[in-house]
Chains A and B, each alone.
Chain A
Amino acid sequence: MTTLGDKALLPAGLEDVLPPYAAQEAATVERLIACFSGHGYQRVKPPLLEFEETLLAGAGTTLTQQTFRLMDPVSQRMMGLRADMTPQVARIAATRLRHAARPLRLCYGGQILQVKGSQLRSERQFGQVGVELIGAGQEAADAEVVLLAAEALGAVGVAHLSIDLNLPPLVGSLAAGIGLDTENSAALLQALDRKDSAAVAQIAGDQASLFTALLRAAGPADAALAALGKLSLPKAAKADVERLRRVVGLIRDAAPELTLTVDPVEHRGFEYQTGISFIVFARGVRGELGRGGRYTTDLLGGGREFSTGFTLYMDTVQRALPEPERSPVLYIPAGSAPADRGRARRKQGWVTLAGLEGEADIKGAARRLGCSHVLIDDQVIELKD
């Protein structure tokens, strides 16, 4: 064990986050949570591990292949390491907080671990920060979570946000409506997902024009809604489009500057969503910053609860942020301020770095340690480059 490779190599998809990025990520998480808290979302903290059955129930079913498992030597039961925090928060709402007043607003932030990285996100471990708005079926709730995602990301400094609004169950129900068998239906959904109009035309046959029109409808929200309004859709789908139109109106009223697009065929990764959903992009940033949407939970004593929420992926959020600014650091040479070790300066907002032994070249020592200023005779002196 002598080479650097032996000591430093980490498993694929795992990394050490170093200064200044580790601090930047932590600060960003705190600012996001502060924004959510400001809107009355209360923080919960689910555990890293849960029994497999509870972790992979409900919304968790889609995560079976992404979940690391280990045997609990105590209970002799199989446990899973969370691959997504959303189902955990939904579980908390449906069990321990089942008697809490609705609508219930919860937020969370934590690390998750997935078995495989994706094409755009090679990380297997990353941070998730999000909210759930539980027991709220209103259009105002749909608008609230979209606006909250935009506000929070804006507050941490993400520029050029673009929110793509979707109706994930739409294409599935349309495909079922034209009587395709399971295999062709899956092929059609795959082709729609890739916006492959040639394949869509081939699979959907004489019904292709509807799906092709849906593909072409995607784009800026107003134009897309106008195009969708002209299509002859089944009654239920029409109602979904109308609801989306009203939600877009609510979002526009509150945040007229926000870039909104509508893509009626987007459905991948929304297998559990039952209504208006959305994906957050930022111009020039690879991948999704976050996604969310409406879902339904079955309650213990029967009945159902309508909820919505979103989760942000911290690795991508961080890629969308400007480089962290280097804050000025004040070097306090050994022996120069023995009484308070710079406490007065820290109160003024300085970051101080204390020398541990007397140096002949104080400025040189300060520079070597990355300080921007030095305290000499109780005077703050800037170090020129």
Chain B
Amino acid sequence: MSANQALVLAVPKGRILGELVPLLHRAGIRPEAAFADEDDRRLRFATDDPRIEIVRVRSFDVATFVAFGAAHLGVAGNDVIMEFDYPELYAPVDLGIGHCRLSVAEPAHLGAGDDPARWSHIRVATKYPAITRRHFAARGVQAECIKLSGAMELAPGLGLCQRIVDLVSSGATLTANDLVEVEVIAEVTSRLIVNRAALKTRPVEVSAWVDRFREAADAA
């Protein structure tokens, strides 16, 4: 990695992009046209500012790219930040986009005859094994996590497990699968994340971008 190369901003693919593009514009970053095209196969995009370029990766990978310094800045939900709990990540700005919550859900009929105080072990399907284990361990319950990458809502109905931990925005998917949200683990929004060594060794440039994102978020 050369010392004076352009900074790299990692952003997640998918649903957040619609909210993110206007925010990037307010922060003064105009990605090349291909960036907004979901069908474009490229992963790396220039912007109108030669000092910053953008890479588009999966939301879970944004945190990893930034933590290891492969990207200097990134946009990631605090669900992802909490899951990895990378000590090399800073999350200085709440961008106020991508609102949802990380919740525990279970079949509607389950709650009646069940006393959570008596649990010593439960089985949970989730994309977030670390958060789930930590959450239940804090109340003395050992959570056995079945790591799935999607369609968590199917798991209780098919007998894989009784509970899931997943992102919920409207709750429509849960309802459609006869599940109820029983507990909110965390409210989720997207954050600007920064690599620790990048902030320490290029403080002027990196803090200037942090300030621009903060102003862009405040202006919304």
A residues whose Cβ falls under 8 Å from a Cβ of B: 118-120, 159-160, 162, 164, 193-198, 215, 218-220, 259, 261, 263, 268, 279, 281-288
- For the complex, what is the distance from the CA of A93 to the CA of B21, rounded to whole Å? 59
Chain A nearest Cβ from B218, distance in angstroms: 12
Q: Chain A's nearest CB lies how many Å from the CB of B101?
A: 15
B204 CB contacts on chain A under 8 angstroms: 219-220
The reply to whether A284 and B87 contact each other, CB–CB distance below 8 Å, is: no
Contact A281 B3, beta carbon cutoff 8 Å: no
Any chain A CB within 8 A of the CB of B159?
Answer: no
Q: Is the interface of B mostly helix, strand, loop or mixed?
A: mixed
Asked if A279 meets B90 with Cβ closer than 8 Å, knowing A120-B68, A284-B1, A284-B3, the reply is no
A215 near B92: Cβ-Cβ < 8 Å = yes
Query: How many Å lie between the Cα of A268 and that of B89 in the bound state?
Result: 13
A120→B197 CA distance, assembly (Å): 11
Q: A198-B191, A284-B1 are in contact. List 19 more A-B contacts (CB 8 A).
A: A119-B67, A119-B87, A119-B88, A162-B200, A194-B91, A195-B194, A196-B90, A197-B93, A198-B94, A218-B199, A218-B203, A218-B207, A220-B203, A282-B201, A283-B202, A285-B197, A286-B69, A286-B197, A288-B197
Partner of A160 from the list B3, B69, B88, B191 (CB cut-off 8 Å) is B3
Nearest Cβ distance between residue A266 and chain B, in whole angstroms?
Answer: 9
| A194 engages B1 (CB within 8 Å) | no
0/1 per residue, B62-77, Cβ < 8 Å to A?
A: 0000011100000000
Residue from the list A119, A159, A197, A285 in contact with B92, Cβ < 8 A: A197
A195–B197 CB distance below 8 A: no
- Of the listed residues B90, B191, B201, B204, the one surrounded by the most CB atoms of chain A closer than 10 A to its CB is B201
Nearest-neighbour CB distance to chain A for B130, whole angstroms, equals 13
Interface residues of B (CB under 8 A from A): 1-3, 67-69, 81, 86-94, 189, 191, 194, 197, 199-204, 207
Interface pair B3/A197, CB less than 8 Å apart: no
Task: Pick the residue among A160, A194, A195 that contacts B201 (CB under 8 A).
Answer: A160
Bound CA span A285–B68, Å: 10
CA distance A215 to B207 in the complex (A): 11
A-B contact pairs, 15 of them (CB 8 A): A119-B88, A160-B201, A194-B90, A196-B90, A196-B92, A215-B92, A220-B204, A281-B201, A282-B201, A283-B3, A284-B2, A284-B3, A286-B68, A286-B197, A287-B197
**CB-based contact B91/A261 at 8 Å:** no
A261 touches B87 (CB 8 A): no
- A283 and B94 within 8 A (CB): no
**Most chain A CB neighbours (cut-off 10 Å) among B86, B189, B200, B202:** B200
Which residue on chain A has the smallest CB distance to residue B91?
A: A196
Closest Cβ–Cβ distance, residue A228 to chain B (whole Å) = 15
A334 to chain B, nearest CB (A): 46
Residues of B within 8 A of A194 (CB): 81, 89-91
Known: A119-B86, A285-B197, A287-B197. A196 touches B191 (CB 8 A): yes
Residue of A nearest to B204 (CB): A220
Chain A residues, Cβ within 8 Å of B201 = 160, 162, 259, 281-284
Distance in angstroms from B61 CB to nearest chain A CB is 15
Q: Are A120 and B1 in contact (CB under 8 A)?
A: no
Question: Are A281 and B197 in contact, CB atoms less than 8 angstroms apart?
Answer: yes
